[in-house]
Amino acid sequence: NAGVTQTPKFQVLKTGQSMTLQCAQDMNHNSMYWYRQDPGMGLRLIYYSASEGTTDKGEVPNGYNVSRLNKREFSLRLESAAPSQTSVYFCASSEEGASDTQYFGPGTRLTVL
Amino acid sequence: AQKITQTQPGMFVQEKEAVTLDCTYDTSDQSYGLFWYKQPSSGEMIFLIYQGSYDEQNATEGRYSLNFQKARKSANLVISASQLGDSAMYFCAMRERYDYKLSFGAGTTVTVRA
């Protein structure tokens, strides 16, 4: 049982390049999330998808776009990467309620030069 | 305003001893959930324990227990019988009823000494 998977694990980009981070979950969860983690900080929500077909902005959405491809997959796109987007990106999934645990993928470490 | 406060940036604990990690939270909601996650040096986020705001009993999961004091808005994690593998960063997080995001604290680094 893989849980939440993310690709790639590591990526180095130059300023202005674009890329898509992929996330998939096999737990049949309705809700999926993208967070970023910066040094010395907890995670901050970028975007989330409460259910298939819907997406909404989180705390720090600027510079990102998302696609909920189907129930399993939720991708994060950086259209024109900036050094401020250097971070570790985590995808997570859960059922919909406030009591439902969010389960995280292994993370993608992104460096923008 | 900071919703989750973890005041201990780092702690050392002797193997086999217990350690308490502090977490205070701020919300005006009556319904919310509190979570603790472990992040080892390998980087993944591992769910440890959950406490609901209406739960009267403190949550326990193996060696982890959550000391929930609702009136004080406190949700401290207690790790009993520490093991070397417990060395990691620990994050407290809260999810309010009508919000999808988890609000995280800054984390506490625990180092277990042999």
CB atoms under 10 Å from CB of B91, counted, come to 27
CA angle, residues A59, B27, B43, in degrees to nearest 5: 50
- Please answer yes or no on whether A101 and B35 come within 8 Å at the CB atom: yes
Average pLDDT over residues B49-57: 93
Average pLDDT over residues B72-99: 95
- The whole-angstrom distance between A17's CA and the closest CA on chain B is 25
Partner-chain residue, chosen from B35, B93, B101, that has the shortest CB–CB distance to A59: B101
| pLDDT the model gives residue A45 | 94
Average pLDDT of chain B, as a whole number: 94
Average pLDDT over residues B70-83: 97
| pLDDT the model gives residue A86 | 97
